[in-house]
Every structure is written in C-alpha cells, then in structure tokens.
C-alpha cells in the first residue's frame, strides 16, 4: 500500500479525471487523500454526492462561501494582490506560485503535514505544491496535464505566458512521472523539455462503460447530444443548428446540457426558426448524471474548435462520455480528434464551420442501419478497450 495525496486547486465534481484517479488508486488498496479548493458554487452539491460514496478522504482547503468564509475571502483578496504583481511580469519565487492558485500557501501547508509516499498534482496551480510537499516529506511526486497550459487561451496575456513558463520550467524537472490526457498534448509539451528523463504516459479520459448493447430501431428520431459546464455560441453549436436548419427534418433533435444565458438561448432558437422546438435545454446536470442523459441520445457531438492551441490538441471528456454511453459520434477535424478518429473510427468527421458537410453527416445518421452499426462499433470499443478499467491500469503501473 502506498500513501498518496492528490491535489487540485479546483473541486472534485468539475474534474472527473482526478476523481477517477482517486477511485482507481483507492480500489487498488492505496491510502488516498484529496486536497481541493472551492471553485464554483454550483459544484458544492455535486461534490457532496461524490464524496458521500468515496473510499478516499477529501479535505476542503482555503474555505468557501459556506465554510470558513473569512479564510475564503482573505485568500481571494491575497490572490488578487499576487495576480497584480504577476501582471507586471514579476515572477520571483512565491509570486508566480501564489498568482497561479488562490490557496497555494494553505495547500502546501496541508500537503506537508501528511506523511505520504506520493503527491500528485492536477491543474497547473498544484504543480509547485506537489513538488515542494514531496521535497519536504522526502517523497515522490507526479503531475497530470489534462490541458496544454501554455496554449489554453487564443490571445494569452504576456505576463500569464511568462508565469506559466516559469512554473513549468522550475518544477516539472523535479517530477517523478508526468501524465497527459492526449498524445498531442504530450508531444507539444515535451518539445519544451527534450531532456526530461522521468517516465511520461498518456492516460485517456475514459469512463466506465455505462450503456447497454445497442438495439436496432428503424425509423425512430435522431437525437443529438452535447454537454459542457457552460453553453456559448463559440462552441461549435451554431454550425450544428445551421446544419439542422439545412436538413430541415423534424426527426432530428438536439439536447444540450450546461448553463446557458437567456441571450444565447434566444439566438439559438432564432437560428432554428420553425424547428426551435427541436432544441432541448437540460441546464446544469450533476457530473454523475451526464452518462444517463447521454444514453437517451443517438449521436454525441464533439464539435471542438482549433483555437486556442489547447482545443486543437486535446481529447475532451465528451468523446469518452459518448463512447461509454454507446453513442455514434460526429467530430470536427481538430488535430487530436482527426488522429483519434483515424485510429478508432468512432464516427463521422467534418471540417469546422462547414455547415453543408455537417448536414451530410446528419443525413447519413438518419439511415437506421448506418446509425446502428456505428453505435454498436462504439459500444464494443468502450466495452473492450476505451474504458477506465483498462485505461486506469496505466496509472496503477506507476505504483506497482
């Protein structure tokens, strides 16, 4: 048994990846503690649901609007101060670290107090914490890249770019292993560290299989599905709505999960016009319920954009959620999704923004046999290979 501390500057329910790691490690017999920080109010209830049934321990650090308010607002004020210093491109020791996460000091103190064998960080705000905690405890540490942090926004402020580069350059060489959520994130990140000698692994964002074997249902409606924490017009959905308008078939509906502004919803319904009733808004759904909503659909939409760079090279939770739910998939041609689809043939792909090409994809999936064969293929993929039971073994090998 290894004692492991997982650290994130966010919350469990907004990071399914760290929850899956905690569950895999604890199920393998390891002693797992997660240190996390309040990020957004709506996630509090979802956190409770996750933590009620977990074998691993979880500790909220730095307070929240409902727990230890003084600590929460104090750390928010301190964070703004260090952000101001960072905006002036000041990256001396402890400025960059404290400007990257609200609770750096509190996370580090809590981590150092736990005599663990391994400290694992998720999200860049945890990188300095795990390296320094490991040094304090004469332990080992690892870091997970779910995103390419140097390219998370299209027009990154120069001071942010300097801070991110400073933190990675300073702390990554001290890691005992590094994991990545896609092959292209690994490839891009390792260009900055050609001499890094620690083990690196790609762990796809797979989920446990949640779907029953697909059943052939000729002549039924074609149900599209998309989800995210927030819904906006710049997420590829406008192209989907325009394609639905082109096909003009009342059998096609789109279910959207996520927080959506009234203005955005009006825009979406205006685009569909007479077909506006075919847009179904579910609002925010707890992470643990996403697969159940997805399972009611036929086709999952992975309509990612190529900008910023991170979106072009990442493989999002969407693809693997759709696979675990037994859905056919429609994908845009980002670099990561194109490579992924060439290997696994998970669905139909189209050029970003090409309404006519997407309309053709929708028409193809209106053919019952085509849809059924793709759903069956994806179900087998999730059952036999692209599921967390298989993918999580890569993580367990590190501690074997």
* Contact yes or no for 98/128 (Cβ under 8 A): no
Among 167, 104, 120, 108, which Cα is nearest to 15's?
120
pLDDT tens column, 130-139: 999 999 999 9
Confidence (pLDDT) at 234: 77
Confidence (pLDDT) at 301: 98
Q: State how far the Cα of 362 lies from the Cα of 327, in Å rounded to an integer.
A: 14
Q: State how far the Cα of 290 lies from the Cα of 114, in Å rounded to an integer.
A: 34
Confidence (pLDDT) at 213: 87
Count CB-CB contacts under 10 A for residue 1: 9
Where are the alpha helices (H) located in 9-140, listed in sequence order? 16-27, 43-52, 69-87, 95-100, 104-112, 127-137
Residues in the chain with pLDDT values less than 50: none
Torsion angle defined by CA atoms of residues 306, 192, 195 and 179, in that order, rounded to the nearest 10 degrees: -50
Both structure tokens of 151: 């390219």
Confidence (pLDDT) at 382: 96
Both structure tokens of 241: 């709505």
Give, as one character, the DSSP assignment of residue 79. Answer: H
Confidence (pLDDT) at 286: 83
Torsion angle defined by CA atoms of residues 255, 260, 261 and 266, in that order, rounded to the nearest 10 degrees: -10
Among 212, 264, 222, which Cα is nearest to 247's?
222
Confidence (pLDDT) at 253: 97
End-to-end CA distance of the chain: 9
* Contact yes or no for 212/286 (Cβ under 8 A): no
Q: State how far the Cα of 131 lies from the Cα of 175, in Å rounded to an integer.
A: 7
Torsion angle defined by CA atoms of residues 385, 16, 18 and 307, in that order, rounded to the nearest 10 degrees: 90
Q: How do beta strands 57-61 and 299-302 pair?
A: unpaired
């Amino acid at each position: 048994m290894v004692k492991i501390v997982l650290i994130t500057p966010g919350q469990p329910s907004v990071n399914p990846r760290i929850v899956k790691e905690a569950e895999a490690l604890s199920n393998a017999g390891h002693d797992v503690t997660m240190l996390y920080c309040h990020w957004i109010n709506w996630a509090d209830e979802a956190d409770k649901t996750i933590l009620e049934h977990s074998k691993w321990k979880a500790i909220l650090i730095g307070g929240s609007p409902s727990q230890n308010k003084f600590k929460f607002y104090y750390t928010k004020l301190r964070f703004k101060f260090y952000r101001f210093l960072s905006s002036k491109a000041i990256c001396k020791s402890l400025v960059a670290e404290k400007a990257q996460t609200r609770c750096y000091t509190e996370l580090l103190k809590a981590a150092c107090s736990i005599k663990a064998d391994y400290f694992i960080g998720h999200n860049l705000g945890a990188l300095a914490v795990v390296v320094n905690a490991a040094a304090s405890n004469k332990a080992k540490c690892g870091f997970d890249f779910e995103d390419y942090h140097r390219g998370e926004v299209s027009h990154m402020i120069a001071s942010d770019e300097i801070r991110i580069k400073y933190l990675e350059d300073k702390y990554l060489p001290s890691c005992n292993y590094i994991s990545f959520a896609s092959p292209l994130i690994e490839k891009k990140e390792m260009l900055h560290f050609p001499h890094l000698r620690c083990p690196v692994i790609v762990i796809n964002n797979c989920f446990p299989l949640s779907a029953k074997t697909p059943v052939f249902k000729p002549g039924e409606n074609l149900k599209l599905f998309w989800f995210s924490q927030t819904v906006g017009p710049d997420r590829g959905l406008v192209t989907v709505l325009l394609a639905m308008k082109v096909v003009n078939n009342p059998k096609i509906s789109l279910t959207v999960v996520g927080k959506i502004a009234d203005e955005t919803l009006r825009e979406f319904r205006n685009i569909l016009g007479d077909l506006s009733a075919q847009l179904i808004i579910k609002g925010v759904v707890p992470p643990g319920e996403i697969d159940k909503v997805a399972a009611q659909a036929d086709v999952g939409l992975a309509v990612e954009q190529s900008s910023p760079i991170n979106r072009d090279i990442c493989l999002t939770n969407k693809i693997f959620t759709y696979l675990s739910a037994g859905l056919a998939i429609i994908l845009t041609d980002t670099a990561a999704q194109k490579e992924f689809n060439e290997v696994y043939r998970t669905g139909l792909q189209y050029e970003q923004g090409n309404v006519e090409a997407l309309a053709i994809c929708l028409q193809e999936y209106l053919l019952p046999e085509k849809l059924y064969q793709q759903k069956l293929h994806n179900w087998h993929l999730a059952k036999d290979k692209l599921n967390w039971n298989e993918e999580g073994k890569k993580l367990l090998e590190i501690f074997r």
